[in-house]
Amino acid sequence: MTDDDELRLHRWESHADLPLTVVALVFLVAYAVPILDDHLSPKWDRAYDVATWASWLAFAIDYVVRLCLARHRAAFVRSNLLDLAVVVLPMLRPLRLLRVLALVDILNRRAGSSLRGRVGVYVAGSMVLVLFVGSLAVLDAERHAPGSNIHTSGQALWWSIVTVSTVGYGDFYPVSTTGRLVGVGMMISGIALLGVVTASVASWLVDRVRQVEQGAQAATRADVAKLAAKIDSLERLLAQRDAPKA
Amino acid sequence: MTDDDELRLHRWESHADLPLTVVALVFLVAYAVPILDDHLSPKWDRAYDVATWASWLAFAIDYVVRLCLARHRAAFVRSNLLDLAVVVLPMLRPLRLLRVLALVDILNRRAGSSLRGRVGVYVAGSMVLVLFVGSLAVLDAERHAPGSNIHTSGQALWWSIVTVSTVGYGDFYPVSTTGRLVGVGMMISGIALLGVVTASVASWLVDRVRQVEQGAQAATRADVAKLAAKIDSLERLLAQRDAPKA
Amino acid sequence: MTDDDELRLHRWESHADLPLTVVALVFLVAYAVPILDDHLSPKWDRAYDVATWASWLAFAIDYVVRLCLARHRAAFVRSNLLDLAVVVLPMLRPLRLLRVLALVDILNRRAGSSLRGRVGVYVAGSMVLVLFVGSLAVLDAERHAPGSNIHTSGQALWWSIVTVSTVGYGDFYPVSTTGRLVGVGMMISGIALLGVVTASVASWLVDRVRQVEQGAQAATRADVAKLAAKIDSLERLLAQRDAPKA
Amino acid sequence: MTDDDELRLHRWESHADLPLTVVALVFLVAYAVPILDDHLSPKWDRAYDVATWASWLAFAIDYVVRLCLARHRAAFVRSNLLDLAVVVLPMLRPLRLLRVLALVDILNRRAGSSLRGRVGVYVAGSMVLVLFVGSLAVLDAERHAPGSNIHTSGQALWWSIVTVSTVGYGDFYPVSTTGRLVGVGMMISGIALLGVVTASVASWLVDRVRQVEQGAQAATRADVAKLAAKIDSLERLLAQRDAPKA
């Protein structure tokens, strides 16, 4: 019976994958447009509000269904804390957009062959999403904050890039608590970006250097093969000697 | 008799581990509260002062006892210079909090299995502690410094994060000598953080690439095993031939 | 017939390599001088304009000829998107200068022996070119932009270096959209630079450590060789014993 | 006769090593004091000037002697371009202090055992020297430059640290050409520092992960050893059988 549950959980997840990605894309629009267009008509404003709530409902239903289907509920909650936080805390709302990264996965399945190639596509996709969402979030938080200096979407995007690259000119910087939390997220992304880029180059270099070494290992393998041949001939020699005696 | 001393030193250290960590936690509170609350009543202020001195006494006693129990005292002093500095120099007082990292060790013993996992937990734990202590130390140094711009705990924490990530907007920066020393510590932590993150990603990438290679090495091992089997059968063949002759 | 085309494409590319590099160098002068000298006489100004257009024509002709000679045209367009963009988008004009990197290739073929040595020469060459072109491009974009602070070639070069090293003092920063696009390019270059420098040091360190290990592998090889010698002597022993019997 | 020259060159270099390091230390004082003390009496000022010139003379004589003793003079000039530049260009005067790094070498020969340990000592020594010399050089260049903001030795040292760590708050930055050249040197040092720190951590991590793997390789070695033992016993068995027959 519990195995049945496990199976049903997996089936639900594979069925819910595409719809939830579509919901995330709808939420992306419903999240982005009211931030980018500060003077939306009340009618449209309400429409985007409804879309936001609908996407929240979809994520909440998905979480509850998965929780009900899970074999060990306590273990499920513990290993899906982020999912819970995204549903419960309205402040983490933009994290719902992480689901859009599923699109990068699809792209990867098509194009990627080597590990480094797939890492590259994933990093590039994540960076575009992080910069986009980070710019929106900081613009939302800072636009009307007292003493702030980020007021247009262009400034927000420029600030995002300057922060992720850890350059940090200081021509723009967040002053509100929410804006600074977004900034912390961008900095962590920047450190991760630097780490992944460096690691990829290092892995490539180490690989190229190692190819020489693998040649040496191949030589050992060849030696072992020669030994095997020698022993084979010994065996045959012994067998031949035995044959006439019989 | 000296071996006895060595044993007694280790016994002392294992017994003193937990109490000293508790003392460090008490000191953490006694260090943090007067900095965070600028308008403490004199009574409480004196209470925190007493706690600070008591924690100093505990660390000093621990050092003296360990020094007395050590076999080679000169060698002990040389390899525990940091412990000595923390006891003797009042300016390095915040470093006493490094002992709180012992808690991370305990956490690690529970959760950690892989090397990279344990490094991750350690780095995350250290970063939280470094950011917390660094913010307190810089706030203490800068709050009443002439011409300073870090005046609240929020600003101090934001400055710490901006510095550790090496972004450095320049919206906040220390101006006093003590504050700048704290800054140097944060920058060193930041460089170390970047190094560890990058190295972990690189090690993961190198590992994944190596798994292919290990397959080739396994093939060599298999070849050697086949050789061994061949030699075994040769041996049996010889033994059989000898048996009838006997 | 298609194989003929393939051959003709390669022949065209090897013949066009040197002329296009010369054209790129001419374009470098025609691009740099009007930016560096703000008060050029109209006659010279027109001359440089003509040179710029001539270089564009050369690149366009090269692209069209290669497109015509390519076996699979759709595949050719897809795998040479950058070349197309450089020809079609006037904004990407400075990227034409990337062809000057061909000179670094020539330098490399002469000097380089080790992989790391060649990477080093390539990185140094690219950095000089990136800093030079980036400084020109940002100066062109910012000099007359409202509210800008980069007005001389010295300031532009200093800004480029500060950006590529990800230090980002904030004493100079771009304010126009074009200038910020140049800034994004410089930041990407900076992250790549950091990655390559770190990776080179890491690869060197890993290599040095590995040399010890290779000693151990050599020992295994020696063991296998000793085994082979043993088996040889066994074989000889058996052969000798058989000889008198015959 | 040329071999004799080669020998004499090496003998000169080993004899000149210590005196030149002493000269570099004297130059360090003669370089530092007039910068740190802006109001030196003319008598002392002249004394430091004489010391500076004397150190220049010592380096120049060393270069000329080595050039005369070198077998292939053109090759010697080509592979010692930095030495030539330090002697000929007064602006590169501070680079003479790089010779002080010879002291780090001596320290290393004493303490160092592991490669990473030696790299660590070297990096720490170089950083102290780079920060010290960079601070002096930037203070010298900026103190009386129009519109500059680095006026005290404390500010210069703080700027150096902020630059090397690539944090770059922008509270201090060079404005003169010489000061900016010093800044470029500091940034290059900073990128190198980041690279070496990251690479050391990566190398350590890769090593630890590899130890597991080496265990597997040891198993292969053990298998080969067992094979060898088997073949030995086979050989003995054959020998024993032959013995009675004789």
In sequence order, what DSSP letters do the residues of D158-183 get, joined into one string?
Answer: HHHHHHHTT---SSS---SHHHHHHH
Q: For residue B197, give every residue at least 6 positions away whose Cβ sits within 8 Å of its Cβ, in sequence order, or none.
A: A191, A192, A194, A195, B123
Cα A206 from Cα A223, distance rounded (Å):
26
Asked if A128 and A193 count as a contact pair (C-beta separation under 8 A), the reply is: no
Q: For residue C233, give every residue at least 6 positions away whose Cβ sits within 8 Å of its Cβ, in sequence order, or none.
A: D235
Flag if D170 and A169 touch (Cβ within 8 Å): yes
> What is the pLDDT at residue D150?
94
Cα A124 from Cα A104, distance rounded (Å):
9
> What is the pLDDT at residue C1?
45
Neighboring chain B residues of D216 at a CB cutoff of 8 Å: 214, 217, 221
Report H helices in A70-176: 73-79, 81-88, 101-111, 115-142, 153-164
Flag if B169 and D169 touch (Cβ within 8 Å): yes
Flag if C207 and A202 touch (Cβ within 8 Å): no
Contacts of the segment C241-244: beta carbons below 8 A, 24+ positions apart: C241/D242, C242/A241
Q: Which of D118, B221, A11, B177 is nearest to C220 (CA)?
A: B221
**DSSP at C97:** G
User: Roughly what angle, to the nearest 10 degrees, separates helices A153-164 and A115-142?
Assistant: 130
With vertex at residue A204, the alpha carbon angle to CA A202 and CA A207, rounded to the nearest 5 degrees, is 105
> What is the pLDDT at residue A1?
45
CB nearest to D223's CB, from B198, B224, B242: B224
* Number of CB atoms found within 10 A of residue D128's CB: 12
Q: Which chains touch A (3 or more CB pairs under 8 A)?
A: B, C, D
Among B101-105, B168-172, B193-197, D124-128, the minimum mean pLDDT is found in B101-105
Cα C8 from Cα C78, distance rounded (Å):
20
Q: What's the ipTM?
A: 0.78
Q: Chain A residues with CB-CB distance to B under 8 A?
A: 115-116, 119, 163, 166-170, 173, 177, 180, 183-184, 187-188, 190-192, 194-196, 198-200, 202-203, 206-207, 210, 214, 217, 220-221, 224-225, 227-228, 231-232, 234-235, 238-239, 242
> What is the pLDDT at residue B109?
66
Q: Is the pLDDT of residue D123 over 60?
A: yes
Among B113-127, B155-169, D119-133, the minimum mean pLDDT is found in B113-127
> What is the pLDDT at residue C231?
74
Task: Give the pLDDT mean for D5-17.
Answer: 82
Q: Is the pLDDT of residue B207 over 90?
A: no
- Which comes out higher in pLDDT, residue A199 or D230? A199
> What is the pLDDT at residue C246?
45
Query: B100: distance to nearest CA of chain D, Å?
Result: 23
Among A101-115, B36-50, C13-27, D223-237, the minimum mean pLDDT is found in A101-115
Query: C166: distance to nearest CA of chain B, Å?
Result: 8
CA-based nearest residue in chain C for residue B163: C167
Report H helices in chain D: 2-36, 42-69, 73-79, 81-88, 101-111, 115-142, 153-164, 177-245
Cα B62 from Cα B58, distance rounded (Å):
6
CB nearest to C191's CB, from A154, A194, A216: A194
Q: Chain C residues with CB-CB distance to D under 8 A?
A: 154, 158, 161-162, 165-171, 193-194, 197-202, 204-206, 208-209, 213, 216-217, 219-220, 223-224, 226-227, 230-231, 233-234, 237-238, 241
User: What burial class does residue C121 get, using C-beta atoms within 10 Å of its C-beta: 0-12 exposed, 13-18 middle, 19+ buried?
Assistant: middle
The tokens for B156 are 């101090």
> What is the pLDDT at residue D1?
45
Give the rounded percent of residues in chain D with a pLDDT score beyond 70.
Answer: 85
Neighboring chain C residues of A194 at a CB cutoff of 8 Å: 191, 194-195
Query: A64: distance to nearest CA of chain C, Å?
Result: 42
**Binning pLDDT at 50, 70 and 90, where does residue D160 land?**
very high
CB nearest to D170's CB, from C171, C204, C205: C171
Cα C211 from Cα C216, distance rounded (Å):
9
Alpha-carbon torsion (D184, D186, D189, D190), positive or negative:
negative
Asked if A50 and A126 count as a contact pair (C-beta separation under 8 A), the reply is: no
Give the rounded percent of residues in chain B with a pLDDT score beyond 90.
Answer: 28
The dihedral region occupied by D91, where left means phi > 0, alpha psi between -120 and 50, and beta the remainder, is alpha
The tokens for A41 are 């008509």
Average pLDDT taken over every residue of chain A: 83
pLDDT tens across A75-85, in order? 888 888 888 88
Give the rounded percent of residues in chain A with a pLDDT score beyond 70.
Answer: 85
Flag if C184 and A201 touch (Cβ within 8 Å): no
CB nearest to B201's CB, from A177, A199, A206: A199
The tokens for A68 are 């009900």
Neighboring chain B residues of C198 at a CB cutoff of 8 Å: 198
CB nearest to C198's CB, from B166, B168, B198: B198
> What is the pLDDT at residue D246?
46
pLDDT tens across D196-222, in order? 888 888 888 777 766 656 665 666 667
3-state helix, strand, coil in chain B (%, to 5): 85, 0, 15
Flag if D169 and A170 touch (Cβ within 8 Å): yes
Residues counted in chain A? 246
SS3 of C72, please? coil
Neighboring chain D residues of B221 at a CB cutoff of 8 Å: 216, 219-220, 223
**Binning pLDDT at 50, 70 and 90, where does residue D226 land?**
confident
**Binning pLDDT at 50, 70 and 90, where does residue A246 land?**
very low
CA-based nearest residue in chain B for residue D160: B184
Cα D121 from Cα D129, distance rounded (Å):
12
Asked if A197 and A171 count as a contact pair (C-beta separation under 8 A), the reply is: no
Task: Give the pLDDT mean for B213-236.
Answer: 69
CA-based nearest residue in chain D for residue C220: D221
Asked if D202 and C200 count as a contact pair (C-beta separation under 8 A), the reply is: no
Q: Is the pLDDT of residue D149 over 90?
A: yes
Flag if A170 and D166 touch (Cβ within 8 Å): no
Asked if D127 and D156 count as a contact pair (C-beta separation under 8 A), the reply is: no
CA dihedral angle for residue C133, residue C136, residue C137, residue C139, rounded to 10 degrees: 150
CA-based nearest residue in chain C for residue D167: C167
Neighboring chain A residues of B158 at a CB cutoff of 8 Å: 180
Cα D141 from Cα D134, distance rounded (Å):
11
pLDDT tens across B64-84, in order? 998 888 878 888 888 888 888
Flag if B190 and D198 touch (Cβ within 8 Å): no
CA-based nearest residue in chain C for residue A234: C235
> What is the pLDDT at residue B149?
93
**Binning pLDDT at 50, 70 and 90, where does residue B217 land?**
low
Asked if C226 and C200 count as a contact pair (C-beta separation under 8 A), the reply is: no
Picking from A123, A169, A187 by the largest number of C CB atoms within 10 A of its own CB, the best residue to mutate is A169
Q: Is the pLDDT of residue A120 over 50?
A: yes
The tokens for D94 are 């501070």
CA-based nearest residue in chain D for residue B161: D167
Q: For residue C163, give every residue at least 6 positions away whose Cβ sits within 8 Å of its Cβ, in sequence order, or none.
A: A167, C134, C183, C186, C187, C190
- Which comes out higher in pLDDT, residue A138 or D109? A138
**Binning pLDDT at 50, 70 and 90, where does residue D81 land?**
confident
SS3 of C180, please? helix
The tokens for C183 are 């800034």
Q: Is the pLDDT of residue C186 over 90?
A: yes
Cα B137 from Cα B183, distance rounded (Å):
10
Neighboring chain D residues of A170 at a CB cutoff of 8 Å: 169-170
With vertex at residue B162, the alpha carbon angle to CA B160 and CA B163, rounded to the nearest 5 degrees, is 65
**Binning pLDDT at 50, 70 and 90, where does residue D41 land?**
confident
> What is the pLDDT at residue B168?
92
